[in-house]
Chains A and B, each alone.
Chain A
Amino acid sequence: MALPLLFLFLSYEYEKPKNMKLLLLRFAGRKLFRLIILMLTVSVLSFILLSLSPIDPVRAYIGADMLRVSPEQRAIIAQRWGLNEPPVTRYFLWLGQALSGNLGISMIYNDAVIHVISIRFLASIVLIALAWIISGLLGFALGVAAGSRENSLVDRLIRFYAYTLASTPAFWLGLLLLIIFAVTLKLTPVGGIAPPGLTPDDLPIWERLQYLILPALTLSITGVANIALHTRQKLIDVLNSDYALFARAQGETNASLIRQHGLRNIALPAITLQFASFSELFGGTILVEQVFAYPGLGQATVEAGVRGDAPLLLGIVLFSAIFVFVGNTMADLVYSLVDPRIRISKGAKAT
């Protein structure tokens, strides 16, 4: 009953709050409320979907030992898991546990789902962060290079490159990089996260980088095309504007025009786009980790899907929703911090 009241409180329009702190608080409150509703919806929908699945959880759990487990034993397992309860009861049982921080036990890793996700995510986030930085810098540089001279040879080359990348399967590109750099040139290892028997913590930083560079490059590629094309378009818009014409008339060169007027105006959309790319990055890790046998959250997602580990899959679905949400919220925040013309309250409403 507290929720509708909370909603009323958050959506109440104040008389032009001048206090920045208050604005931020309201922004945070709204976002938190949205996140709660989102998590509830996602969990209900996923729960319905998973309970419709033809896969028998007991059978998936027992696996190859099915013949050695008697029907009575199976019934006991089903009983202990509460599989005989109606789905609605099961959902609330699950929700109660989830709220106290228990998302269940992963069948394939034989470990708490939360623990599996946190360990795997720590491995993936290194990859994601590297790819995020590469795609942001490279995409921005390419976009500026292309946009500063519209329809020049450089521009056409970059545009062709970006459009082709956009329709390239990322995992195939990973295979190409593997063939070129790992198999033919032998510059990097063929996959994994560390040599057999070692963990990344045993390795000096440059050796760890060797394992990271190809997957990170592959992961960054989709982002590069997106950022480059948007930055290019924005820069062209700026250079064709009236104030750019006026600056030219006053004798500004193209380079200083881009530095003075261009970069400021195109940085914002690029940064926002970069934060909004969290969803694609997460999806990308699933494929990239598969190609490079990188033991991160993406690989765990595939394993959970292929081998029928419902608790883990449900946990990952919820986690990925939070991850994407954080990215989008950061995009909103950056928007209002970088551009004084955009008020936080507006940004929060628009999404």
Chain B
Amino acid sequence: MSTLLNQSPAPTSTPIQHRKIAGFLSNRRGRTLLIIGLCLLFFASVIVSSNLMGNNGLGTDLNTRHTAPTLAHPFGTDWLGRDMFARTVRGLSLSLFVGLTAAAISAVLGVILGTLSATFGGVVDTAITWLIDVFMSLPHLVLLILIAFVVGGGVQGVIISVAVTHWPGLARIMRAEVLQLKSTDYVLLSARLGHSPWWIARHHMLPHLFPQFLVGLILLFPHAILHEAAITFIGVGLNPTTPAIGIILAESTRYLSAGYWWLGVLPGLTLLIAVKAFDILGQNVRSLLDPKTSHE
């Protein structure tokens, strides 16, 4: 509706440039694209600034220990006088890296297993569905601790443990999706017309499944990042000198009763914003890709 209204020339004296921007923002599609852009910009700036800063601000300076947030140190300093803002950005970019890698591996696993399960059926389907059930029958964190314990610590260990615990949800969705597609009229008709299963997979299944995969992937990020933070917080994953958000927060618990609130509050808030941004990104990409809502 709104796009139609925007196309009719409005009798105003504003310059065309302005009207274009206003028109872009007044429909949902434009706003969605803008939000997506802002989210991407946020992540890019975290990663780029973390790389640009290098070791700036991470050095110890015992003269400025435990300073509350000031202009020079927006997030305050810690017990060694290190700038908390620098540490937070560092930690966040590590968390983003771990979260992104783990979520990507997890999503690929989910798609492969879900599709295999639906395509082959029979024993394969039973085995994979049962595996999904078993994974879902354990609390997520217990599974994470178990797997982190098995693969050992380090960034690699955390990535593996987050990656192999997040696929069941997407696998289940993909399985249902493929099963549904397999029984649709146009796929059945296509098979009757003599197209090979491979042709059907490429021309009918893939275009349908790819958006699902993309949205599933993006919506996995917040979970992956939260779980990465959780597992480093409890100390199973990385060693205590790595500047990960979870480790920074775990460290802050020792200084809370001394009143150094900024050590925990601000890094956590940054993490919250990052997670929220991914969530918003996922919701917006979904509404853009879903044919039901893409024209609103």
Contacts and interface: CB of A to CB of B under 8 A. Distances in A.
A283 B147 contact: no
Given A49-B147, A171-B230, A324-B137, A179 B142 contact: no
Interface stretch (A81-89, A100-108, A312-320): A312-320
Interface string A294-311: 000000011011101000
A183 B252 CA distance: 13
B257 A52 contact: no
Contacts of B148: 305
A38 B138 CA distance: 10
Given A169-B249, A282-B139, A313-B145, 13 more contacts: A38-B134, A42-B137, A49-B146, A49-B147, A168-B272, A168-B275, A171-B233, A279-B139, A287-B234, A302-B234, A305-B234, A317-B146, A320-B142
A273 B34 CA distance: 35
Interface in B78-117: none
A187 interface: no
A46 interface: yes
Contact of A286 (B149, B234, B265, B279): B234
Interface in B112-168: 130, 133-134, 136-142, 145-150, 152
B142 A282 contact: yes
Interface in B35-86: none
A71 interface: no
A164 B276 contact: yes
B226 interface: yes
A306 B236 CA distance: 5
A161 to B, nearest CB: 13
Contacts of A190: 256-257
Given A283-B139, A324-B137, A302 B230 contact: no
Contacts of B256: 175, 178-179, 183, 190
A243 interface: no
Contacts of A170: 230
B259 interface: yes
A321 interface: yes
Nearest to B130: A41
A175 B141 contact: no
A302 B235 contact: yes
A308 to B, nearest CB: 7
A45 B134 contact: yes
Given A167-B275, A287-B230, A179 B264 contact: yes
13 contacts: A49-B147, A50-B149, A55-B149, A167-B275, A167-B279, A171-B233, A279-B139, A290-B233, A291-B253, A302-B236, A305-B145, A313-B145, A324-B137
B226 A313 contact: no
Interface string A153-192: 0000000000110111111100110110011100000100
A325 interface: yes
A11 to B, nearest CB: 14
Interface of B: 130, 133-134, 136-142, 145-150, 152, 222, 226, 229-230, 233-236, 249, 252-253, 256-257, 259, 261, 264-265, 268, 271-272, 275-276, 279
A50, A166, A167, A320 pick with most chain B CB within 10 angstroms: A167
Contact of B142 (A163, A167, A168, A317): A317
A54 to B, nearest CB: 5
Given A171-B230, A320-B139, A301 B272 contact: no
A42 B249 contact: no
Contacts of A152: none
B contacts with A: majority SS: helix
A42 B138 contact: yes
A323 B137 CA distance: 9
A153 to B, nearest CB: 21
A290 B268 contact: no
B271 A172 contact: yes
A165 to B, nearest CB: 10
B236 A305 contact: yes
A53 B130 CA distance: 24
A339 interface: no
Contacts of B279: 163, 166-167
A282 B141 CA distance: 8
A172 B137 contact: no
Contacts of B259: 183
Per CB-CB distance, the 7 closest pairs between chain A and chain B, nearest first, are A172-B268, A283-B141, A283-B139, A305-B145, A282-B139, A167-B275, A175-B264
Given A172-B249, A305-B146, A279 B140 contact: yes
A286 B141 contact: yes
A308 B137 contact: no
Contact of A179 (B229, B261, B272): B261
Nearest to B141: A283
Nearest to B142: A320
Contacts of A179: 256, 261, 264-265
A178 B252 CA distance: 12
Contacts of B252: 175
B173 to A, nearest CB: 18
A83 B136 CA distance: 31
B137 A175 contact: no
A164 B134 CA distance: 30
Contact of A169 (B137, B149, B272): B272
A300 to B, nearest CB: 11
A206 B249 CA distance: 30
Contacts of B234: 286-287, 290, 302, 305-306
A258 B151 CA distance: 53
A280 interface: yes
